[in-house]
Amino acid sequence: MASLSSRRLVPGVPLSGVLTVAPLRSASARAIRVELVLLEHVLHGPRLTDDPARNPAYEDKYAETVVASLPLAEHVRLEASRPLRFGFTVPVPPRLPAPTMRMPKFTLSWMLRGVVDRQLRRDPCVAIELYAVTTPQ
């Protein structure tokens, strides 16, 4: 992300910025997009029973929810050492599902992720962490 209007995520206030894609090799991409993502991490405690199928020990739970996705380009040819810049404005829902929270047993965090969607390849991405509030201040 070359620039971002704010790292503070406020309900109903869109985020704008510029995503720069600077490929090291020439390649093609199906799409380039920006996503607003809610990440959840919950620590799992010790076993309550001896049956591991019913209660796996110390298995953390991770969840990732894409709250908003904005396509920036489709069918892109990327040339080595030739950066592409995409301006964007991601709409933020008027009501966020959760604020940023860090507790001993769970964490809720937000990020803005830029993704280069490549067919039959791992999708390279870049992410920046955001601080979300659920009430405007």
What is the set of domains in the chain, with CATH numbers?
3-45+56-132 (2.60.40.640)
Alpha helices by DSSP H, the chain = none
pLDDT at 50: 67
Rounded distance between C-alpha atoms, residue 32 and residue 74, angstroms: 7
pTM: 0.81
Q: What percent of the chain has pLDDT over 70?
A: 86
Question: Which residue do the tokens 């709409």 mark?
Answer: 91
pLDDT at 56: 60
Rounded distance between C-alpha atoms, residue 26 and residue 120, angstroms: 16
Residues 102-116 have pLDDT tens digits of: 888 889 999 999 999
- CA-to-CA separations, 55 to 45, 49, 110, in angstroms, rounded: 9, 7, 29
- Residues 28-40 have a mean pLDDT of 94
Choose between 87 and 60: higher pLDDT: 87
Query: Quick one: how many helices (H) and strands (E) in the chain?
Result: 0, 9
pLDDT at 136: 60
Count of C-beta atoms within a 10 Å radius of residue 106: 13
